[in-house]
Amino acid sequence: MASVHSISLLSEAEFGCEHLAAQLGQDGSTSEQFKSAFIKTHNALSNFPRSTDLSVKQSTRLKAKGFLKPKYTCLTCSEAISMADRKAHTEKTSHQFYMDSRGRTLYCEACSDFVYDHGLERLRCSTTESALEVARKRRFSNSSADELYIRSNANKRPCAKQGVRGLFNLGQTCYLNVILQTLLHDPILNTYFLGNGHQPHDCTASDCVGCAVAEAFADFNSSDKAEGFAALNLLLASWRASPTLAGYQQQDAHEYYQFLVDKLHASTEGHREGHEKGCPCFFHKTFYGKLRSSVTCDKCGNVTRTDDPMVDLSLDVQVQAKKRAMGGIGASSTPTLSGCLDSYTSPEKLMAGVYNCSHCGGTPQKATKQLRIRKLPAILCMQLKRFEHTFSVSEKLEGKIDFPLSINMLPYTTVPHARVDRSRFMYDLSSAVVHKGKLDAGHYYVYCRQGDEWMLFNDDQVTAVTEADVLNADAYLLFYNLRSLASAPQ
């Protein structure tokens, strides 16, 4: 016996979307006018020249690139407009249904998607103007096997993907998978790549990393498949762009993140190579901040300031561990992210010989150095440096480091604290990358926020987890998103 829920789904499946259901559910004359406009537009677009006809009239010198872009015909006023002007037309006229010139498929601006309606599909089974009359005379039987199959299996296409997808390990590629999953779950990057961001069909660069990432976003958000997929093109593009990445040896996820951000920046049209010039591209604004180094001469008080671009913060957790081992303050406590940030931005004494003061005749002087964040990025990556390499030994610091779900970065900036809205510096955790195992034989997995929930991505295995699971993880990389882009600090 059918449940109330299943009956509801069947009734929804009778129309392509709820907006179309409202349109066709109006009084008879209004509904018939819409169907007539649908058939009339369909027949008019049947003569729209195909891309294969371009070679027939070379004398017109049509540019294929612009010619292939579809036009959208409004079913209400019959005006043909471009994709870029479609939203403005709807806002001006309240007309929300269009037919595209290439596939003659129905588009609903309210859904921002193409919609399929089996009733309208029956109307355009014929290419003649009498199709509407034929449909009036010949009704499909409700008991028809075909009609029953369509009603039982059709439903509205979701506006967004349902669930999440893992990434197949292609041979020691877990370092790539965790960074890509982090990007795939970032709302800022989804808006860019699923909108009018990097367009592979317009890109002429060979082995473009930006194109490979755009393809990964398209694959991940495809509603056609639910199982995991392989980011093979991104792997190959990375190998070709960096000889040190080529091959199936284990790589560092932090170094791959830096590589990927740099290549995405380089793939943007109009980007500037020198970060000190202030590149206006999307990726530079999203990933790059500025770090200020201030050196104060202990003798004369002269201050030398230098601003450098930063793509992440590398926080030395080894310093805290050594202090605890020596019986310092907080010897029995767990190291914290805020403690690492405090150490990172605390003044540091420089011995004579390291710094030459220009105000003291260029002579070596003792000095005090301090790092502060001059400009924060929208996506802030923080590396908890668990790996230490010396001439004699390379080791990894195991153990938990406490980190919060939200953090205020104002105390670590150059901004005067008393004259600013602290809420403008709030960041929320978006993902946490974990490394398990030894330096040369480890494995990466990542926790990512999916809406209001958290998911654990271990290559192609996906598991729902709690906030407590995330906060208990031995994180290696932490990614935080600026809470409000509208009030982002400059």
In Å, how far are 70, 75, 79, 394 from 82, measured between CA atoms? 7, 14, 10, 59
Two tokens at 194? 């699923």
- What pLDDT sits at residue 448? 95
- What pLDDT sits at residue 162? 52
| Termini Cα distance of the chain | 61
Q: How many residues does the chain have?
A: 490
Q: Are 456 and 462 in contact (CB under 8 A)?
A: yes
Calpha distance 187→483 (Å, rounded): 11
**Residue that has been written with the tokens 């924060």 in this structure:** 376
Determine phi and psi for 104, rounding to 5 degrees. Answer: 50, 40
Calpha distance 185→1 (Å, rounded): 40
Residues near 122 by Cβ (< 8 Å), separated by ≥ 6? 135, 140
Q: Are 453 and 461 in contact (CB under 8 A)?
A: no
**Burial (CB count within 10 angstroms: exposed 0-12, middle 13-18, buried 19+), residue 248:** exposed
For 4-153, give the CATH class: alpha beta
Calpha distance 208→263 (Å, rounded): 8
Two tokens at 342? 């405090």
**Torsion over CA of 418, 424, 429 and 433, rounded to 10 degrees?**
-80
Nearest Cα to Cα of residue 282 among 197, 351, 214, 357? 197
Please give the chain's pLDDT, 490 residues, in tens.
Answer: 333 333 333 333 445 678 888 888 887 788 888 988 998 888 888 765 444 343 433 444 444 344 456 789 999 999 999 888 999 999 999 999 999 887 788 888 988 887 877 778 777 765 444 444 444 444 444 445 555 555 555 544 444 445 588 999 998 899 999 999 999 999 899 888 888 778 877 887 888 999 999 999 988 887 666 778 889 999 999 999 998 998 888 899 999 999 999 999 888 877 777 655 678 888 988 999 999 999 998 888 889 899 999 999 999 886 655 544 544 444 457 889 999 999 999 998 888 778 888 888 888 888 899 999 999 999 999 999 877 655 555 666 777 899 999 999 999 999 877 677 787 899 999 999 999 987 667 899 999 998 889 999 999 999 999 999 999 999 999 999 998 775 555 5
Q: Are 169 and 161 in contact (CB under 8 A)?
A: no
Task: Give start-end residues of each CATH 3.90.70.10 domain in the chain.
Answer: 163-289+310-347+376-490
Nearest Cα to Cα of residue 24 among 75, 85, 67? 75
Q: Are 104 and 45 in contact (CB under 8 A)?
A: yes
- What pLDDT sits at residue 157? 42
Q: Are 316 and 387 in contact (CB under 8 A)?
A: no
Residues near 193 by Cβ (< 8 Å), separated by ≥ 6? 213, 214, 217, 218
Q: Which CATH architecture has domain 163-289+310-347+376-490?
A: Alpha-Beta Complex (3.90)
Task: Give start-end residues of each CATH 3.30.40 domain in the chain.
Answer: 4-153
Nearest Cα to Cα of residue 484 among 326, 360, 376? 376
Model confidence pTM above 0.85: no
Q: Give per-residue burial for 93-131: e unless 16+ CB within 10 Å, then b.
A: eebbbbbbbeebebbbbebeebbbbbebebbbebeeeeb
Is 103 in a helix, a strand, or coil?
coil
Query: Which helix (H) or strand (E) is 218 found in, with range?
Result: helix 209-220
- What is the torsional sign of CA 265, 266, 272, 274? positive
Q: Are 39 and 129 in contact (CB under 8 A)?
A: yes
Is 425 in a helix, a strand, or coil?
helix
- In 110-267, which ranges are E strands? 113-115
- What pLDDT sits at residue 432? 97
Calpha distance 423→445 (Å, rounded): 31
Q: Are 423 and 362 in contact (CB under 8 A)?
A: no
**Burial (CB count within 10 angstroms: exposed 0-12, middle 13-18, buried 19+), residue 138:** exposed
Residue 226 forms beta bridges with which residues? Answer: none
**Residue that has been written with the tokens 């473009």 in this structure:** 208
**Residue that has been written with the tokens 């995330």 in this structure:** 470
